[in-house]
């Protein structure tokens, strides 16, 4: 339905219910002359007289009565739907789907949800933890938590925590071996407990920046060993 048709039909229904242009105009927040012009334009488009006007009263014609009876339930449903949306604004509810990798979910998301959910019991939060760069829109997520460098340029993003610097940790005896840096970045890689992730590791070894290729997988330790 064209916007003009919707507004004109709403104006007609107000006049039909109030049986008065003056009261209907006050209800709609328009002047009486503007409302009269709207009704005449609607009647001209339909090719039918909808209202009978006298100096003292307004009444619907047979066509006008038929149209008013047909429009009433539909506009009532629209009003009810808009009222229900107002209730959502006053008391948030529904399902919120979030995709995140494991570490930010545990370090940032869960603490925030512990405070949020008791205050908004009608909100249900569904968190999917995955190291893959899930397509937030295609998979129908409401939000996602990503490293800053992984955010697509067309996505709206806000920081939720300070910048973090990651470190490679291991036994002192292991790092004491002269060749450990070469093995960590060279063809014979070190034994790193790391899940298969869609982004590369960038290591700085003695001032030299090396990159561990995307998708390499050297092993999978428990959750605590994956926060590298």
Which H helix or E strand runs over 124?
strand 123-129
Whether 199 and 137 map to the same domain: the answer is no
Cα–Cα distance measured from residue 207 to residue 213, given in angstroms and rounded to the nearest whole number: 19
Task: Determine which of 12-16, 75-79, 190-194 has the lowest per-residue pLDDT on average.
Answer: 190-194
Q: Which of 90, 121, 139 is at the close of a domain? A: 90
Percent of the chain with pLDDT strictly greater than 90:
33
What DSSP state is assigned to residue 106? I
Full residue range of the structural domain in which residue 57 is found: 3-90
Q: Is residue 163 part of a domain?
A: no
Whether 59 and 8 map to the same domain: the answer is yes
Whether 126 and 144 map to the same domain: the answer is yes
Angle between helices 32-46 and 3-18 (to 10 degrees): 110
Q: Is residue 164 part of a domain?
A: no
Task: Determine which of 61-75, 170-184, 212-226 has the lowest per-residue pLDDT on average.
Answer: 212-226
In CATH, what number is assigned to the domain containing residue 136? 3.40.190.10
pLDDT greater than 60 at residue 182? no
The dihedral built from the CA positions of residue 95, 100, 103 and 104, taken in this order, carries a sign that is: negative
Report, as an integer, the average pLDDT of 144-153. Answer: 76
Task: Determine which of 33-47, 134-148, 151-165 has the lowest per-residue pLDDT on average.
Answer: 151-165
Whether 86 and 8 map to the same domain: the answer is yes
Which H helix or E strand runs over 89?
helix 62-90
What DSSP state is assigned to residue 201? E
Helices vs strands, H then E, count in the chain: 8, 7
Q: Which of 70, 90, 110 is at the close of a domain? A: 90
The tokens for 114 are 């512990």
The string of pLDDT tens digits covering residues 65-124 is 999 999 999 988 988 888 877 767 777 888 999 999 888 888 888 998 998 899 888 899
Q: Is residue 107 part of a domain?
A: yes
Cα–Cα distance measured from residue 210 to residue 130, given in angstroms and rounded to the nearest whole number: 26
Residue with tokens 């990798």: 101
**For residue 113, with 0-12 CB atoms within 10 Å meaning exposed, 13-18 middle and 19 or more buried, which class applies?**
middle
- Grade residue 208 by pLDDT with cuts at 50, 70 and 90: low
Q: Which residue has the higher pLDDT, 146 or 187?
A: 146
Q: Is residue 165 part of a domain?
A: no
Tell me if 125 sits within 8 A of 96, measured CB to CB.
yes
Whether 23 and 79 map to the same domain: the answer is yes
Report, as an integer, the average pLDDT of 150-173. Answer: 77
**Residues with Cβ < 8 Å from 104, sequence gap 6 or more?**
145, 160, 161
The string of pLDDT tens digits covering residues 33-58 is 999 999 999 999 999 999 998 877 89
Report, as an integer, the average pLDDT of 169-191. Answer: 64
Whether 77 and 126 map to the same domain: the answer is no
Q: How many domains does the chain have?
A: 3
Tell me if 98 sits within 8 A of 134, measured CB to CB.
no
Q: Is residue 11 part of a domain?
A: yes
Whether 22 and 80 map to the same domain: the answer is yes
State residue 46's pLDDT score.
Answer: 92
Whether 82 and 111 map to the same domain: the answer is no
Q: Which residue has the higher pLDDT, 153 or 158?
A: 158
Tell me if 60 sits within 8 A of 48, measured CB to CB.
no
State residue 53's pLDDT score.
Answer: 87
Q: What is the average pLDDT value for the chain, to the nearest integer?
A: 78
Whether 7 and 86 map to the same domain: the answer is yes
């Amino acid at each position: 339905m064209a916007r003009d048709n919707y507004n004109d039909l709403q104006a007609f229904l107000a006049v039909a219910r109030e049986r008065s242009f003056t009261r209907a105009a006050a209800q709609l927040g328009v002047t009486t002359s503007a409302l009269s012009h709207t009704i005449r334009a609607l009647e001209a488009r339909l090719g039918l007289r909808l209202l009978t006007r006298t100096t003292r009263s307004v009444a619907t014609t047979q066509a006008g009565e038929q149209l008013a009876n047909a429009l009433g339930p539909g506009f009532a449903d629209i009003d009810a739907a808009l009222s229900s949306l107002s209730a959502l604004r006053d008391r948030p509810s529904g399902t919120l789907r979030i995709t995140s990798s494991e570490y930010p979910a545990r370090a940032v998301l869960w603490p925030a949800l512990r405070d949020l959910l008791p205050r908004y019991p009608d909100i249900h939060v569904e968190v999917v933890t995955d190291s893959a760069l899930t397509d937030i829109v295609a998979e129908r997520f409401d939000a996602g938590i990503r490293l800053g460098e992984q955010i697509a340029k067309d996505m709206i993003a806000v920081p939720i925590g300070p910048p973090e610097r990651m470190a490679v940790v291991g036994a002192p005896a292991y790092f004491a071996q002269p060749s450990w840096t070469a093995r960590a970045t060279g063809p014979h890689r070190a034994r790193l407990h790391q899940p298969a992730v869609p982004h590369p590791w960038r290591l700085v070894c003695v001032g030299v920046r090396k990159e561990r290729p995307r998708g390499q997988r050297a092993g999978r330790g428990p959750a605590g060993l994956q926060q590298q």
